[in-house]
Structure formats: structure tokens, C-alpha cells
Structure 1
Amino acid sequence: MAVEHNEAVVLRAIKDLVIEPIPVPDLKDNEVLLQMGSVGICGSDIMYWQRGGNSRFRLEAPMIIGHEGSGTVVKVGSKVKTLKIGDRVAIEPGTPCRRCHQCKQGAYNLCPDITFCATPPDHGNICRYYKHAEDFCFKLPDHVTLDEGALMEPLSVAIYACRRGEVTLGSKLLICGAGPVGMLYMMAGKVAGASQVLITDIDDNRLEMAKSCGANHTINVNGRDKLEVASEIEALMGGQPEVTIECSSVDYSYDLAINATRQGGCLVAVGRPSGRTLLPLDVALRKQVDIKGIFRYVNCYPAALEMLSTGKINVKSLITHHFTFNETLRAFETAISRDAKAVKVIIHCDQ
């Protein structure tokens, strides 16, 4: 297939998102060229668009946005063995060096030289054609859609969080934040064996969706005292949760999480708060609550693919809006609109 024309969605500056022509990338021996299919909008994409940064990463030059992607192979490098033209794949967006200490220890997510889609200075994949390393593309079975393939990225974050928290058979799991990733944590936690999952948020619509997707309990914490909520969590679950996953990025939820988690339990800190976060560290120490951070994921895509292909997790239930490539700006506007009540927004680059 001859590919002569390419376009990308470029974030030129804060709130300046445009479609521009870009070159068709040249392939290295171990890379494949993909016609991009589905790309999901992530909270980090919105942070770059609205604020010019996410955590320690800052937008300092125009950047192609997007990292939750899937596509179809249209060309392969000379040493590619596992993929062929026509294969549909999910893209694991981080490509590590494979040589450093972290990579050789199996923690390639911590590789200091990792290239990660749409993380400055690396470009993302909301474009017509995009190249990626063969070994970080995962072939999709015929019955798994490109939309589902794109959502393997946030699902992998959820799987990694559950692994870090050691969610297992019979675990009581508290999740702070009922956004798309919060609901994926719930789904992944259930697959891992959690007997009960309780989700908190300040948005009744999202809590309703969480309930419909399998949450055992939900609590709207808007304006409520954290200790009162912690007591309610214990009463609803018949005991304090062994594992709490915080994904709302607000101080209130971190405080609630530490107070609500069982003695000797674990808090998995996923949400990235801005500035300095105030924690009741004395409570955490007295209760011997382990606080574990996570950074993206490592070796989770195979598990995500297995969960999707066997029907253990239904990510399609989280997709509320679809847009074409040329409608990308409207897609981003919808993702932040309260009136739209968007959960997961998908952009179709091949339309």
C-alpha cells in the first residue's frame, strides 16, 4: 500500500489544537506503519490542552496529541516477524530502551529513556499514519474491535494498580473517583477477585454508571466530612477495605483513603495532585497503611487483551461519544463539557 499523505492533530500551545499535514514516517527494521483507527481521549491529553502540562511534563513545543490508540498494519520493517499487513493491533504507547538497569529488571515503565506517545517531547498518535515498534503492538483477535483495542491502554493502568495493591480473592476494594479509569479499576478489581467494590465521587451521573457497570456501593462525597464518609464505607462494606485506589487527584480523597483503609492495608496512589498534597501521615503510620505509587504500567497488555478477548471486561460500556478525525476539536470540547456527561470519547482516525 502506497501512503503519500499524512495528517496529525497538533497541540501548538495551550488551547490551540489544529490539524496539520505531517510527513509519512520512515520505518526502522523493527517497526510497523499503522493506519490509525481508534484513539481515546485521556485526562492527561486534556491537561496538556487546557494547562500545557501534566505532572512534571510540560509542553515546550508543538506536539501531536493522543496515546490510547489502535490501528491496522499497512507496512512492515525488514526484520518484523510477528505482524503482517492487515493485522489490527493495540498500541502500547511506551517504547523503552531495553538496555538499561530498569529494563533488564523488568521495570521498563521506569526506563529513563522511554519514548511515550504524547508526553513531551515525544509525539502522539492522533494522526492518519503512525509508526511503532513491533514488540509493543498487540495483535487483536477478529472479535475484538479497534475501540476496545484503544482502551487496552487505560485498562492496563487499572490492571497494574490492582497488582500493586495486591487485590485478590475476597478483597474489599475502595476506589476514589468514578471517571473512566476509576471504573476500569473496579472492573479489573472484580476480575482479580475483589468481593466488594465501593466507588466515591461528586458526580451522581458517574456514580450511576459505576453502579450499572458492577460497583457494589457508591457514595457521593460532595461537601461531606471525610471521617463520616470513612465510617459509612466501613458500614456498607462490613469492614474497612484492604485496598484503596485513589484516582481523583484531590487532597480530600487522599485523606479519606488513609482514614478509610484497614490497618495493615494498602493505598495505591494513582491520581497526580498538583503542588504539594497534605496527607495525614501520622494516621497512615499508626495504621501501618502502605502507600504505593504507580507509573503507567508494565507487562499488563497481555492480561488486558485476555480480559477483553474472553469477555471478562466490557470496556465498550464506558464509551459515550464517537467523533471523526476532522472533528477532534469538538471531541475534546465534549470530553470536558459537563452537559455532555462524557465518560470515554473515541476519535476515529480512519474516517
Structure 2
Amino acid sequence: MTTTSAKAEIPATMRAAVLHGPERLTLEERPVPTPGPGEVLVRVEAVGTCGSDVHYYRHGRIGDFVVREPLVLGHEAAGTVVACGPGVDPRRTGRRVAIEPGTPCGACGECRAGRYNLCPGMRFLATPPVDGAFCEYLAVHQDFAHDVPDSLSTEDAALLEPLSVAVWACRKARVAPGDRVLITGAGPIGLVAARTARAFGAREVLVTDVVPHRLELARAAGASALDVSRTPLPDAGYTPTVLLECSGVPAVTGEAIRTVGRAGRVVLIGMGGDEIPLPLSRVQNHELELTGTFRYAHTWPTAIALVESGAVRLDSLVSHRYGLAEAEHALTVAAKDATAVKAVIHPQR
């Protein structure tokens, strides 16, 4: 098997932060992968830490996905193509790319219908047993290594992944000019959802949370902000046409649904409990549309365009930066620092 690469620049081994069980993360040497047919080898230069990474680190599982063997975390990644596998245009070498972390089978009914995010054979980075991007090099399918313009920083390119979650949710909610949007939870997804809803034309966006620092970031994103520890949502007098639920807290979800106006749309984004109390009379009497959302499909071109145009800014999300040897700090900083929003790991440091 041959590859096109700048071979002198690619070492035989690389560092990887490997999870061996709850709160057991070690820095190890592993072979640099060889890109297979249709794959590119990416030198990973920035990886955002996600709540799922933190959950795997703390608990060793998320629902049915259990860490049964050593696992490399991280799925919000970007870097530079340094080698091309068979069948890949060698001119891709040297290009900066954002990595879409899920590789579907491409042949099932969901994939053929364009819903590849629902592919039952999806291989998703940092989802057991698939290794992720807390490492120095990563081989990925060429179709899911998206070229990014020079105007995007490497951190911007990595954070196109959470932005894609917001783009997909706004599409599912059909956010359009004139909408009044309610976003519950001012974490990274809630904050990018606020900017995305604005970019989609929403005339008003209200973000709720209880952390003052995050509410300030919501205001900086062009949204109104409500501290629900001081003013309960039902007392705010806000009747949205769209609810983007990002908290994952069942009680918050039920309360927020009760505020949605007639013929409103509700999209559940946050991952919380397996069940929520559903205010069924509100859903029925107001003919609300309610749907879940799972990852994304066909979102990277839109996400890139939103950042390139300046309609969405991602740099304000980054609160902490670490080298690969400090990956454990990146996974625990949110529990120690109230100002933490998004920690980014730079594996080449």
C-alpha cells in the first residue's frame, strides 16, 4: 500500500492520551497510522473537549456506550493533511482541514436517504470502540476532512463540530426571519446556537442559565439573557416560536416547552435523562412540533461559510488551552473553574 506524503516530516510513532477507565488517563506512544484507500493522514493541531469526553473520563460510559478497552478521546478536531492514501488526490497534502468525526457506511437505507447521521454502522471518533483525536496524527476518510479557508484559525476549524450541532438544530427547527427563539442552557452548544439562530434570521433570541459568566457570553453573542435562579422562566413573559433545548435537564425541558407559542417548534439537543415529563396538553393544544436531534449531516459547508462571513464567531468560546500532556487538566477544568466554557488541546505542543 502506497501513500503520497512528505515522509521526512512524519515520525513512526506519536503521542496519544489514552483512557483506561474512569479517571485513568495516560500519555502513551503509538504507531502513526497509515492512511488506507480513500483516507488522508491529518496532523492534529487543535481538538476541543466536549461534554461527552468529560463524561467518558469520569464514568467510563455514556448510556450503552461503554469503555471496555483503552480509548483515545476527542472528536472536535482540525489540522493539516500530511499524507494521502491510495485513491486520494495527492494535491490535498498540505491543506488545512476540519474533521467531521463520523464516518457512515454509505450503503444503508439511512445513508442513501441522506440521513447519514442516523447510519446504524456509523463509526464516530471517541465513541467506543473507535479512537478519537487526542493524539498527534489521525487517519480519516477524505470526504470527512473538509478544506477550510485561511481566514479560519485552527481552533475555529476544530469548533466547526459544535457549530454543526447548532446548524443542524436550527435546520430541524426551521429557524427563519421573524422567529423568537428560546435557548435553555448557555454551555458551548447553547452559545453557538444563539449565534446560529441570529445568523438564520431570528429577530429575538433569549438564552437561560444560572451561571453569570455564561450569560454574559450569551449577551455578547447578540442574545438576551435570563438568570433563571433569579427570575423563573414562566415569570419572564417570553413566548418563543422556537425552543432549542440545550440543558439536557428534564425539569428545565418541561418548563420551557410550556412557554412555546402556538404552532411552535421544539428541538431537543441536550443529552440528559432517558425520560422527561412531557406537558402533553401544551403539545396537543398548541400543535407543537417536537423532535430530537442527533449529531448532524451535510452541515460543514454551511458552518464554514457562517464563520468565514463573520456571521458566527467561535473564538469567544475558547476559555482554556492545553498541550497533549495536559489533557487531563482539559477534562477537569470545568469542575474547578466557573469561567470555563471550552478547553482546547493542541496535540503538537
Where on the TM-score scale, by shorter chain, does this alignment land: which range? over 0.9
In structure 2, what residue type is equivalent to 1:336? A
1:230 aligns with 2:234: yes
Matches of 1:81 and 1:170, distance apart in 2: 44
Unaligned stretches of 5+ in structure 2? Answer: 1-6
Aligned in 2, Cα 1:242/1:82: closer, same or farther, shift over 3 Å? Answer: farther
Tell me the secondary structure at the aligned position of residue 308 of structure 1: helix
Output aligned runs, 1:258-273, within 5 Å.
258-273=257-272
Deviation at 1:283, TM superposition (A): 2.2
Aligned to 2:344: 346
| 1:38 aligned partner, one-letter code | A
* Matched AA of 1:345: A
Q: What residue is the counterpart of 1:21 in the other structure?
A: 29
SS in 1 for 2:328: helix
Q: For 2:148, give the aligned amino acid.
A: L
User: CA deviation digits over 1:121-178, x for unaligned, max 9?
Assistant: 1110110111000010111111211100000000000000000001001110000000
- Structure 1 residues 130 and 53 mapped into 2: Cα distance closer, same or farther (>3 Å)? same
Deviations 1:218-262 (A, max 9, x none): 11112765xxx234142xxxxx11100001011121112211111
Q: Which runs of 5+ in 1 are unaligned?
A: 235-239
- Could you give the per-residue CA deviations for residues 266-295 of structure 1, whole angstroms, max 9, x where no partner exists? 110011222432222232222211111100
Are 1:196 and 2:195 an aligned pair? no
Q: Distance in 2 between matches of 1:247 and 1:25?
A: 36
- Tell me the distance in 1 between the aligned counterparts of 2:236 and 2:320: 34
Residues 18 and 28, structure 2, Cα contact 8 Å, conserved in 1: yes
Other-structure match for 1:237: none
For the residues of structure 1 that align with 2:348 and 2:237, how far apart are their CA atoms? Answer: 45
Task: Within 5 Å, give how 1:151-170 maps onto structure 2.
Answer: 151-170=159-178
Q: Is the 8 A contact 1:324 1:349 kept in 2?
A: yes
Report the equivalent of 1:254. Answer: 253
Q: Distance in 2 between matches of 1:96 and 1:76?
A: 20
Bigger shift: residues 300-309 or 278-287? 278-287
SS in 2 for 1:19: strand
Mean CA deviation greater in 101-110 or 21-30: 21-30
- 1:218 has 2:225 as partner: yes
Task: Select the residue among 57, 65, 76 that pairs with 1:68.
Answer: 76
| Secondary structure, aligned partner of 1:20 | strand
Partner of 1:318: 317
> Partner of 1:298 in structure 2?
297
- Of 75, 100, 104, which aligns to 1:96? 104
Does 2:301 correspond to 1:307? no
Residues 172 and 194 in structure 1, CA contact (< 8 A), matched pair in contact too:
yes
Would you say the 8 A contact 1:41–1:335 is kept in 2? no
TM-align CA RMSD: 1.4
Structure 2 residue 181 is matched with structure 1 residue 173: yes
Matched residue of 1:22: which SS? strand
What is the match of residue 337 of structure 1?
336
Matches within 5 A, 1:43-54: 43-54=51-62
Q: Percent identity?
A: 37
2:16 and 2:334 mapped to 1: Cα distance? 19
SS in structure 2 of the partner of residue 194 of structure 1: coil
| Counterpart residue number, 2:4 | none
- 3-state DSSP of counterpart to 2:303: helix
From 108, 130, 139, the counterpart of 2:116: 108
Which residue does 2:273 correspond to in 1? 274
Alpha-carbon distance between aligned partners in 1 of 2:292 and 2:90, rounded to the nearest angstrom? 34
- Is the CA contact (8 Å cut-off) linking 1:231 and 1:260 kept in structure 2? no
Where 2:138 maps in the other structure, the secondary structure is strand
Q: Is the Cα–Cα contact under 8 Å of residues 39 and 141 in structure 2 kept in the other structure?
A: yes
* Contact 1:69-1:90 within 8 A present in 2 as well: yes
8 A Cα contact 2:250 2:273, kept in partner: no
- Contact 1:55–1:274, Cα closer than 8 Å, also in 2: no
1:260 aligned counterpart, secondary structure: coil
Is contact 1:82–1:134 with CA below 8 Å preserved after alignment?
no
- Give the residue type in structure 2 aligned to 1:221: V
Contact residue 170 and residue 194 of structure 1 kept, 8 A:
yes
Q: Deviations over 1:27-56 (max 9, x none)?
A: 212001111000000011111111222243
- 8 Å contact from structure 1 (residues 183, 213) kept in 2: yes
146, 152, 163: which is aligned to 1:144?
152
Change (3 A) 1:304 1:291: same
Matched-pair contact (CA < 8 Å) for 1:175–1:197: yes
Give how far 1:326 is off.
Answer: 1.3
d(CA) in 2 for partners of 1:198 and 1:218? 6
Q: 1:167 to 1:81 in 2, by over 3 A?
A: same
